[in-house]
Structure 1
Amino acid sequence: MHLNHSPNQNIILEHSSIHLAIKREDLIHPFISGNKFRKLKYNIQQAQSDNAFRLLTFGGAFSNHIAAVAYAGKEHGFKTIGVIRGEEIGFKPELNPTLLFAKSCGMQFKFVTREIYRTKTESNFMDSLKTEFGDFFLIPEGGTNDLAVKGCEEILEESDLIYDYMCCAVGTGGTISGLINASKAHQKILGFPALKGDFLQEDIRKFANQDNWELVTDYNFGGYGKIKPELVTFMNSFKDRHKIPLDPIYTGKMMFGIFDLIEKGFFPKDSKILAIHTGGLQGVSGVNDLLKRKNQPLINL
């Protein structure tokens, strides 16, 4: 996979001594965006080394990961299978922009109930998938495994040593683990979980080799996929002012949290903060479809 340059873009904060920059990982590839590019890099290499010809993974209806695996499979000559959470989606997948894109890349879908989806790591379910589809190279939900963390360690560059804090959204914990491993002792890594629950602490500790991190759990807006008008208003204002689009599941909540913490005086004077834009913009049009049906404010595309 070809990596485009991902520049750091400074954000102007009026009446503040804080320096904030965003690492534009959303720009490194047109379809395999941000942390998905990083997570898939070494998984794809391993699948090629194993002479695999089929990739299988898991995700929800608007999953950035599903879209990225579908395109990566197409780009590298793999067949791809997406096990999709929510059996009801299978009746009208054509109404979902993410699944439409993945299908156009050749991905085959298996729609399962949420109850069955919760058993996705159990051996009986895995055996049934192998019986149905044959051998495959397994990429976990969200892409997080040792190979993914190795890829995410490459997000940081030598020039990023100037930053005191580095912030990222957290889903399955792979991206923040890579940042932790690549960071230096003087740096603090702040993770902004997109979902509720303390289980992420344990998941991150499986991969992280330093203790210079913490999770900021006040900005999930009610849980994974939960979107409130206040968040949409912030995202639209942010884009108008800084010309940087955000997604409502991950980066929007992270940036909302960073700005709120700055306003509350969380960061010491003259702190230098680097926020990681992990992409995820492909899902915005699908989210807007849901917001439109609820007569709620839309995200500016």
Structure 2
Amino acid sequence: MNLFIIDDDEAVRSMLIDIIEDYDLGSVVGEASNGSLIDENLLAVKKVDILIIDLLMPVRDGLQTIRDLGSSFTGKIIMISQVEDKDMVGKAYLLGIEYYITKPINRLEVISVIKKVIENIRLQKSVQDIEKALNILEYKPVNYDTKDKFTDENIVTYSQYLLTELGMIGESGSKDLINMVEYLFQYQNENPFENEFPSMKNILSTVAIRKLGENASDNELKKEIKASEQRVRRAIFQGLNHFSSLGLTDYSNPKFEQYATKFFDFIEIRKLMMDMQNNIKPSISHVHINIKKFVRVLYLESKKEYTN
């Protein structure tokens, strides 16, 4: 991945370059001290995938720079700033940034955010590649077995893409959720379910057996089932947090409108939004998390992404 950094503080630019290079997150192909020094042509020549830009800078600030770039820059944007004003942050998200990092720079946060953006880029490319393949398949005769195999391999990619959209892909529980989607797809191919969806006990047990193997003891399976359920619960809570924050910043955000009520209980989102508004730290113990609803929707939406 090629990254370009724009910040008027040389120390910040140097710190970000060190983090990116030390943790092998990509190549820094350029840097600038303010937005007036870059344009879409420079970013295109440099083949920039990720633009890291400061909000407040002399001559041309981050918001104006992003506006000027418009749709000509197709890469991802990470904004950094000392500003925590909700209106300013909201404007940044409306302009299409992926993440907002608050200064002073936290090494672990920078690493986590850049990794998530890289994963998002890769997943989007995978989805685009699959869609191209599907367009080709529409004009070529394929036997049932071939199509089935193609679907089985790629429904996982769609679930990864959705979890990225939901801000959950970095959570360990996302792997459990992806395993559940894969199992449900294979299960439905063998046992079509119209109105009856497998119980969470059945899903968790099967996924645990697949992970540990048929020879695992009952005690080992029980521990894995409990641990898996806790990981999934934390991952969904992260998604709830992400969308509550998004809704608080911009209630009309397209992602919020598309996913919030579909995947989560809106009452719980409203509760978290109120907590955030009152500077109360959200707690997983005070939130009702409907795991079965989330898994069902994730599976059906992943499958729908493929069939569309």
Higher RCO structure, 1 or 2 (CA under 8 Å, sep 6+)? 1
Which structure: greater strand fraction?
A: 1
Q: Is this a same-fold pair by TM over 0.5?
A: no
More helix by share: 2
Larger Rg: 2
- What TM-score do you get using the length of structure 1 for normalisation? 0.29
